[in-house]
Amino acid sequence: VVGIVGKSKSLDFPTMLIFWSLVRNSVVLAVYLLFSVACFLTVHEHFICGIKTLPLRMEQHQKNAFTIAKWLQKQPRVQYVLYPGLENHPGYEINKAQTTGFGGMISFAVDNSETALQILEGVKLIKFAESLGGTESLITYPIRQTHTDLTAEECAEKGITDCLLRFSTGIEATQDLIDDLAQAFTAVE
């Protein structure tokens, strides 16, 4: 019971005295109520913390994405980079007019599918995963993950090729992410 209570920052000593006076005759009820309250407060606390830190996290996502998109443009194996914060992006002007930032999502195409696969296998800090939008940086391979239900023609029409990678930047240090990508690109044979 103490372990459960210790996990919640919201339960303080006076609250515990009142709580114990109500449930002192039933250990089972006490454990059940403590667990229920602790779980609810933990979820609630995470939600509130998430709201409070959202502007800071978005700022770092965008900083990382812009810097990495610029870095990717300079890589010899990269054919093109799609990031709305780059002036050559087709939606740059409208995005600039309608938003206060450009987000943390980058798409880029490399010279061939073997390069794409080696980059996916070579990253260490950046996780090769399908879920996007967390605090950690993730890279996906749309042709084999998110767009497998499309026909080859539909993929081609949408620009989904076996050379395309999508990168959701997290809030890690920008240079750490660039270093991870750099070592993965360097390892490509």
The pTM of the full predicted model, rounded to 2 decimals, is: 0.71
Q: What is the pLDDT of residue 50?
A: 65
Query: Given the DSSP bridges, would you call strands 78-82 and 138-140 parallel, antiparallel or unpaired?
Result: unpaired
The whole-angstrom separation of Cα 99 and Cα 101 is 6
61-88 confidence digits (pLDDT tens): 899 999 999 999 999 999 999 999 999 9
Which amino acid is present at 111? D
- Residue 22: partners with Cβ closer than 8 Å, 6 or more residues away: none
The per-residue DSSP string of 152-165 comes to HHHHHHHT--TTEE
- Which residue ranges in the chain fall short of pLDDT 70? 1-50, 131-133, 145-147
Three-state helix/strand/coil letters over 76-102: CCEEEEECCCCCCCCCHHHHHHHCCCC
